[in-house]
Amino acid sequence: QVQLQESGPGLVKPSETLSLTCTVSGASINGYYWTWIRQSPDKGVEWIGYIYYSGATNYSPSLKSRVTISIDTSKNHFSLNLSSVTAADTAVYYCAGGVNRSGPWRDWGQGTLVTVSS
Amino acid sequence: EIVLTQSPATLSLSPGERATLSCRASQSVGSYLVWYQQKPGQAPRLLIYDASARATGIPARFSGSGSGTDFTLTISSLEPEDFAVYYCQQRNDWPLTFGGGTKVEI
């Protein structure tokens, strides 16, 4: 059974970079698409972007200028960097994986709350 | 981007009753519509994909229908564990988008 686990700071200061890692266990990271999604009361559920094991990426246009998703196949994990954060980036961040780049996503991490505050 | 509008926002029902949830897209998404269930403190759980295909392990009381811009998730007879928030997601066009959710409450 595939398990995903997000990790990273729960508190980030405004204007700094939010960095999260999703570690995949129970399956190889190779051959799948890996996605970041976030959820907040204000914006609801929002797709951030995905990375393929080859390194190909696709990002939401609304976040594209600030987002980088990377992958480390040797460590079986992938990462999210979101720069120049503001309070509007406060959300629960989920990682998810699947065989299709656009979902559906059967496998999800438990989610991690990231608060942007000084 | 494609906007998904879910209705009603809240559905108040009793166990054993039938639940009918709607998801309307601002433009056609073909059959590329997904339904998730989310309980407090948990990640969304995949229920239905491509409008009507049940995900592995999902009970038969959950069914999906529709195509184009109008979709429906039906729960034929509510079990206590079905009270949750339900989201639709379109995977036909970029960026991928989600609906605002329908809360099914007792």
Centre a 10 Å sphere on the Cβ of residue B44 and count the other Cβ atoms it contains: 27
Place of tokens 């998904």: B4
Instruction: State phi, psi for B80 to the nearest 5 degrees.
Output: -55, -35
A46 contacts in chain B (CB < 8 Å): 98
DSSP assignment, residue A89? G
Sign of CA dihedral B63, A101, B88, B65: negative
Span A63-85, pLDDT tens digits? 999 999 999 999 999 999 999 99
Task: Confirm or reject contact between A40 and chain B (CB < 8 A).
Answer: no
Place of tokens 């594209």: A64
With a cut of 90, say whether residue B69 has pLDDT above it: yes
A111 contacts in chain B (CB < 8 Å): 43
Give mean pLDDT, residues B70-79: 98
With a cut of 90, say whether residue A1 has pLDDT above it: no
Q: Which residues contact B83 (CB under 8 A, 6 or more apart)?
A: B104, B105, B106
- Of the partner residues A103, A109, A111, the one whose CB lies closest to the CB of residue B34: A103
Tokens standing for B45? Answer: 């759980």
